[in-house]
Chains A and B, each alone.
Chain A
Amino acid sequence: MNLIDTVLQGVLLGGLYALFAAGLSLVFGIMRLVNLAHGDLIILAAYLILVIVSALGLNPFVAALVAMPVMFALGWGLQRVVLNRVLGTDILPPLLVTFGLSIVIQNALLQGFSADSQRIGAGALETASVDFGPVTLGVMPMLTFASAIVVIVALNRLFYRTATGRAFRATSDDPVTASLMGIRPSAVFAQATGIAMIVVTIAALYLGMRANFDPTIGPARLIYAFEAVIIGGLGSLWGTLAGGIIIGVAQTVGAAVNPEWQILAGHLAFLLVLLIRPRGLFPRAFD
């Protein structure tokens, strides 16, 4: 049945969008920072994985493991050196700074890697598929979706089962009172951005293995991520997955009707959800 196939492909695509969005959601949830360079950081991580793959001849998954601590350090440093300086009651400075960062990353990548599109080769995995009777699903999309679930479960465990997560939530609630508990908000923020960059690396791995990328495609990934976060309701990671799935399904259904409608259908679904539930599907009880 064609519709089932289309919807399932859309759900799996939603996993990729959820991966794009999870890091954005994490950072926004903890420090109310909308990182406009998020998409470009994903592309940066994809190039980093590509470089590790070609320089060391590693399997992409192993290369991503190598890239993770590098990206964590980058995120940590970015927060420490740049973003912590602009966070405050005024939301405009961080927006402007991350917007500028987006331009810097894009142009640095253009300088370093040219505008040619690249791809992280994954060998036979790229075309492998599993036959489920009425539908055939690609191994890569299924791996992507499974990774999204693992990432969200892991982040939720971190948030709700560990002392670090407790500090994240407390700082998100009230940074001044958190500091009275001996927690330094700037250090918490740096940790959070570092963790977000690990998620970004996982997103970059699948982005780079599934399709071509070049230095300029970051902002479009940011839009998908942003829409997934907003649909899901700010601060809810499962909501972010739901948001990713809604955009993914809308895109594949739109593409089934007419390939030109793929992207548009995703954005229309976003607008529709905003009309019906302006605070998203699973908003936090307070804010």
Chain B
Amino acid sequence: MTLLETRALTARYGDFQALFGVDITLSEGETVAIIGANGAGKTTLLRTIAGVLKTAPDMVRLDGKGIGGRPADEIMKRGVAMVPEGRKLFPSLSVEENLLIGAQARKVPGPWSLDRVYDLFPILREKRAVPGTALSGGQQQMVAIGRALMSNPRVLLCDEISLGLAPVVIRDIYAAFPQIRAGGASVIVVEQDIGQAMKVATRVYCMMEGRVTLEGAPAALSREAIHAAYFGAVA
């Protein structure tokens, strides 16, 4: 069943058009990866779905209902949680407060709670009283993911969670994905790390210059096809 979809989605920053008719779908239980080079429009796509960037109502649909252009706080309350690029923890809040604020506006029953997030990332339990921004990059990323999970989201949007992290740390964070999926969230990950994206995803979209250039199951995509979709066809 389709949970979230974009239809001919366009987005612009002032005069600059960043997305040109992007169609993606996310079905219940799926993990979709969106890969592409810098500037391909991946982050813009997530920010538009999350309501940070405005668009026309029908261009983003949740459960078949147009939510495009609704305020970000409203979209979050409908169950679309975001792990933003750069983690964006609140520096005035401790680790625990950063997690709690994720559930503050949307209190729905579900698998995730403070204790469950601490079970998923045990290091955070030790650091619960420390300011969120005093943690290492990897631990901050765990807080950002935990914060999004706290609202028991139906859709989890993860923007470049491996950015700036050491490979071993990235592996630890992606090790949490099976549990996140088991918790019932359908996931969209935006990644430049194609290897990780291919491992967790059930379906992959490749974007280039604001358009989807390739779509398919990871196993069905050849290296050459991905290369062409990622960098453009070499004439």
- Tell whether B88 is near chain A: CB-to-CB under 8 Å: yes
- Tell whether B9 is near chain A: CB-to-CB under 8 Å: no
Interface size class for chain A? 10 to 19
Looking at the assembled complex, report how far the CB atom of B52 sits from the nearest CB atom of chain A, in whole angstroms. Answer: 6
Binds B, one of A63-71, A121-129, A161-169: A161-169
Q: Given A179-B72, A181-B105, A182-B104, do A170 and B52 touch, yes or no (CB 8 Å)?
A: no
Can you give 5 contacting A-B residue pairs, CB < 8 Å? Answer: A169-B92, A176-B52, A179-B76, A180-B81, A181-B151
Q: Given A166-B104, A167-B101, do A180 and B82 touch, yes or no (CB 8 Å)?
A: yes
CB neighbours of A181 from chain B (8 A): 73, 76, 101-102, 104-105, 147, 151
Looking at the assembled complex, report how far the CB atom of A52 sits from the nearest CB atom of chain B, in whole angstroms. Answer: 36
Complex: chain A residue closest to B106, CB-CB:
A182
Please tell me which one of the listed residues B71, B91, B93 contacts residue A179 in the complex, with CB atoms under 8 A apart: B71
Q: Given the complex of chains A and B, what is the CA–CA distance between A183 and B51 in angstroms?
A: 13
Q: Given A166-B101, A166-B104, do A183 and B73 touch, yes or no (CB 8 Å)?
A: yes
Q: Given the complex of chains A and B, what is the CA–CA distance between A107 and B84 in angstroms?
A: 48
Q: Given the complex of chains A and B, what is the CA–CA distance between A177 and B140 in angstroms?
A: 15
User: In A138-179, which residues have CB < 8 Å from any B CB?
Assistant: 163, 166-167, 169-170, 172-174, 176-179
Q: Given the complex of chains A and B, what is the CA–CA distance between A163 and B150 in angstroms?
A: 15
- Tell whether B100 is near chain A: CB-to-CB under 8 Å: yes
Q: Given the complex of chains A and B, what is the CA–CA distance between A286 and B51 in angstroms?
A: 28
Please report B residues at the A interface, Cβ cutoff 8 Å: 50-52, 71-73, 76-77, 81-82, 84, 88, 90-93, 97, 100-102, 104-106, 147, 151
Looking at the assembled complex, report how far the CB atom of A181 sits from the nearest CB atom of chain B, in whole angstroms. Answer: 5
Complex: chain B residue closest to A172, CB-CB:
B92
- Tell whether A184 is near chain B: CB-to-CB under 8 Å: yes
Q: Given the complex of chains A and B, what is the CA–CA distance between A163 and B106 in angstroms?
A: 13
Q: Given the complex of chains A and B, what is the CA–CA distance between A172 and B101 in angstroms?
A: 14
Looking at the assembled complex, report how far the CB atom of B107 sits from the nearest CB atom of chain A, in whole angstroms. Answer: 10
Looking at the assembled complex, report how far the CB atom of A133 sits from the nearest CB atom of chain B, in whole angstroms. Answer: 45
CB neighbours of A173 from chain B (8 A): 90-93
CB pair B84 A180 closer than 8 Å: yes
CB pair A167 B52 closer than 8 Å: no
Looking at the assembled complex, report how far the CB atom of B113 sits from the nearest CB atom of chain A, in whole angstroms. Answer: 16
Q: Given the complex of chains A and B, what is the CA–CA distance between A160 and B146 in angstroms?
A: 21
Q: Given the complex of chains A and B, what is the CA–CA distance between A182 and B77 in angstroms?
A: 6
Please tell me which one of the listed residues B76, B81, B90, B104 contacts residue A174 in the complex, with CB atoms under 8 A apart: B90
CB neighbours of A178 from chain B (8 A): 90, 101
The CB with the most chain B CB atoms within 10 A, among A172, A178, A181, is that of A181
Q: Given the complex of chains A and B, what is the CA–CA distance between A167 and B101 in angstroms?
A: 7
CB neighbours of B84 from chain A (8 A): 177, 180
CB neighbours of A166 from chain B (8 A): 93, 97, 100-101, 104
CB neighbours of B50 from chain A (8 A): 180
Q: Given the complex of chains A and B, what is the CA–CA distance between A159 and B102 in angstroms?
A: 17
Closest 4 CB pairs of A and B: A182-B105, A179-B72, A182-B76, A169-B92
Looking at the assembled complex, report how far the CB atom of B194 sits from the nearest CB atom of chain A, in whole angstroms. Answer: 26
CB pair B88 A179 closer than 8 Å: no
Please tell me which one of the listed residues A169, A172, A177 contacts residue B88 in the complex, with CB atoms under 8 A apart: A177
Complex: chain A residue closest to B100, CB-CB:
A166
CB neighbours of B93 from chain A (8 A): 166, 169-170, 173
Q: Given the complex of chains A and B, what is the CA–CA distance between A278 and B144 in angstroms?
A: 35
CB pair B90 A167 closer than 8 Å: no
CB pair B101 A174 closer than 8 Å: no
CB pair B104 A167 closer than 8 Å: yes
Looking at the assembled complex, report how far the CB atom of A285 sits from the nearest CB atom of chain B, in whole angstroms. Answer: 8
Please tell me which one of the listed residues A170, A176, A183, A184 contacts residue B92 in the complex, with CB atoms under 8 A apart: A170
Q: Given A166-B93, A170-B93, A177-B90, do A184 and B76 touch, yes or no (CB 8 Å)?
A: no
